[in-house]
Amino acid sequence: MIVTLIDYGAGNVTSVARALRRLDVDVLVTDSPQEVSAAHCLILPGVGHCAALISALDKHELRQPILDSISRDVPFLGICLGLQVLYRASDEAPDLPGLCLLFGRVSLLPSTVKLPHMGWNQLQATRESRLLQGISPDAHFYFAHSYAAAHNDEETVATCEHGNEFTAVLERNNLFGVQFHPEKSGAPGAQLLKNFLKVAG
């Protein structure tokens, strides 16, 4: 199986590709709409500003190929901003529509806590998760973000708390997303990537 890693210019593409190759999978890093359309397994990493991600996807004409692949049941994993762009909109880029695959809106975390939410934190599982199989409930994952999506019973499988509760892991059919960075999260992050590859299998 070849994992297609969508390269829109994010700084963590290389580290995600390296983490995947350590798991002995072939990785195609691409910004080609044709290659995204033909993918059998898609990962969208993201760091930085939501507007930069959405603008880059549209500049490279990647929006529709991503949507087409997901609609034909290609397994998709969004990492950090790659999760946030699945929603209709984000307060970080209010004039730019997301991929509109999930209801709800991405909002700024409370100003009562230090932002960005940077560093290690734990998850609270809300229901059974394919991505979290075999990972200890005490595991810590690495976060780096100021915006997040609210808990939603339709797709949230684990939450995290920083000022308030937010969606840390989501799963809906072939759609998966994590707010943290598995490529920076040591053994638990590697196991999560293995679990996604097993589902994509």
Looking at residue 167, its amino acid is: T
Looking at residue 25, its amino acid is: V
- Which residue, 148, 178, 195, is CA-closest to 83? 178
Looking at residue 14, its amino acid is: T
Concatenate the DSSP letters of all residues of 89-148 into one string.
EETTSTTS-----EEEEEEEPPTTS-SSEEEEEE-EE-S--STTTT--TT-EEEEEESEE
Given 50, 80, 92, 117, which residue is catalytic? Answer: 80
Residue 171 annotated as catalytic? no
Residue 183 annotated as catalytic? yes
Give ∠ CA 135-3-62 in degrees, rounded to 5. 115
Residue 41 annotated as catalytic? no
How far is the C-alpha of 55 from the C-alpha of 68, rounded, in Å?
Answer: 19
How far is the C-alpha of 44 from the C-alpha of 82, rounded, in Å?
Answer: 5
User: Taking the chain, what is the end-to-end CA distance rounded to the nearest angstrom?
Assistant: 7
Q: Would you please indicate which residues are annotated as catalytic (active-site) residues? A: 80, 181, 183
